[in-house]
Structure 1
Amino acid sequence: MTDLILCGCGGKMGAAVRELASAREDCRIVAGVDLACQNSGLHFPVYRALSEVNEAADCIIDFSHPSTLPSILNYCRTHPGTSAILCTTGYSEEQTADIRDAAEELPLFYSRNMSLGINLLIELAKKAEAVLGDAFDVEILEMHHNQKVDAPSGTALMIADAVNEVRENNMKYAYDRHSQRKKREKNEIGMHSVRGGTIVGEHQIIFAGRHEMITLSHSAQSKELFASGAVNAALFMKGKGPGLYSMSDLI
């Protein structure tokens, strides 16, 4: 049995993780952390801060807010053997650097998207870029619900970073074309965001060449797929030593 602490237990993703974990026999949520969530109706205690949690756990699953990161890293430092699944998007460059540094002493699993399909899409995008090269322009379109705060999505940035890696990190990201009065440059990756309704998550990578276009896409139809990825990552991380793990390790 893997014991979990769920940060952001009152949010939409928290609800998806709660529902999934309750249906499984290999894990259980022993405590939740959420500023706004009341404990009514939940089968585990809910705290306003991770530092208040009394229950022991094998792993923390975080679907809350980037500001929670320092408390998660501190909790893992003061509770040896507890790993963290960092699923929150919107981390700054400084925070991602903190994650990399902390992984030298802590077992951390970090992915901007917990979907197996998205991570396969990224591998396909890398292969396409390696074959097509600079003869094709790359544009990335992402669509999410109207409550999502950060833009572009963390997944869109994952895709862009993967393509850029194939190009030896020589690409630059173009977020705001309407403010520019010039032709598109060859070393650009265009990033476009749509927010509306209840869209769970749509991502497209467009490779546009001369007289032809290739599009790779992924459509998330339920938040459950991200919850499933997070829970499977938690089971995978039980007993792991220090290091920065990702979906590629889980796959």
Structure 2
Amino acid sequence: MKLLLVGYGAMNKRVAKLAEANGHEIVGALSPTEENDCPHPLFDSVNEGLPEADCLIDFSHPTLTKEVLTSDLNIPMVIATTGEKETLLELMDKKAETAPVFFSANMSYGVHIVTQLLETIAPLMDDYDIEMIEKHHNQKIDAPSGTLIKLLDAIKDKARPDAREVYDRSQLSEKRDKQEIGISTIRGGTIVGEHEVLFAGHDEVISVKHSAQSKDIFARGALKVAEKLVNKENGFYTYNNLGV
């Protein structure tokens, strides 16, 4: 494949390395900031006359992703940007009328499986309190992570539509309410990514946990999705309907 990268941060650098190792070509990188270590053609605007590509892979920032989604580009798009989820989903739905568009807040297939597990077991856990914990490296900007929001949405959609998220119990002086879902965020060191959902019941705790041991799992996931997406018709895709 000929791939256009949107953003050239840590994730797309890994995508580029793995892509070239597997015979794909990086035709350019779209980044509004100067990337002195980028060995590929660099473009600072979506209107700059981008090279032909079979697919683009976007690990960037909502601002840049919105520019791509509102542009005239109509090639297959793998979107892995987190933040401003509702706005981006609306724009992706529109772009999907003219291009195949895939979105996931986490490109790990393992996280997709965890999501499906939660959709299955959460409806069975009415008598359990739910606490969610996510851990990431000290350079991550957004909190909670897009992946935690993805897991939270799965629980709320399937089992707890009236749930109320609690992010800071230090501001409360009361017993835990049954509708609460506690959310804890940890930032430190070089933690790649860890997400855990605790179902705490009477004298027992059930835990569902995913630990990323390398960022390469996200890059590999994006490339695997791109290989599928280039053969798809226009439309909006996730792991649920792509057939990976």
- Flag whether TM exceeds 0.5 (same fold): yes
Q: Secondary structure at the match of 2:78?
A: strand
Offset of 1:3 from its aligned partner?
1.3
Give the RMSD, CA atoms, in angstroms. Answer: 1.7
Aligned length: 243
For the residues of structure 1 that align with 2:230 and 2:59, how far apart are their CA atoms? 19
Aligned twin of 1:187: 179
Of 165-174 and 140-149, the range deviating more from structure 2: 165-174
**Would you say 1:64 and 2:64 are equivalent positions?**
no
Describe the superposition over 1:68-117 as per-residue Cα deviations: whole angstroms up to 9, x where unpaired: 12221133xx244x011110111243333332343344321000000011
Q: Structure 2 CA distance, aligned partners of 1:168 and 1:40?
A: 46
Residue 21 of structure 1 corresponds to 19
For structure 2, the 5+ residue unaligned runs are: none
CA contact (8 A) 2:65 2:81 kept: no
1:139-178 to structure 2, matched below 5 A, reads: 139-167=131-159, 169-178=161-170
Q: Does 2:230 match 1:238?
A: yes
Question: What amino acid is the match of 1:35?
Answer: P
1:50 corresponding residue in structure 2: 46
Cα distance in 1 between the residues matched to 2:99 and 2:6:
18
Partner of 1:100: 93
For residue 122 of structure 1, what is the aligned residue in structure 2? 115
**d(CA) in 1 for partners of 2:225, 2:49:** 22
| Residue of structure 2 equivalent to 1:31 | 28
- The amino acid that maps onto 1:71 is E
> What is the aligned partner in structure 2 of residue 7 from structure 1?
6
Q: Which amino acid aligns with 1:84?
A: M
Partner amino acid, structure 2, of 1:89: T
C-alpha distance after superposition, 1:122-161 (max 9, x if no partner)? 11122221222x2001111000000101000000011110
Amino acid at match of 1:48: D
In structure 2, relative to structure 1, the CA distance for the partners of 1:175 and 1:104 (3 Å cut) is farther
Question: Is the Cα–Cα contact under 8 Å of residues 43 and 50 in structure 2 kept in the other structure?
Answer: no
1:221 alignment partner, one of 192, 213, 226: 213
For the 8 Å contact 2:70–2:91, the answer to whether it is kept is no
Match of 1:204, SS state, is: strand
Displacement of 1:121 after TM fit?
Answer: 1.0
Distance 2:179 2:226 in 1: 38
Deviation at 1:39, TM superposition (A): 5.5
In 2, are the aligned partners of 1:146 and 1:197 still within 8 Å (CA)? Answer: yes
Sequence identity of aligned pairs in percent? 38
Q: Secondary structure at the match of 2:70?
A: helix
Correspondence for 2:189 among 181, 184, 197: 197
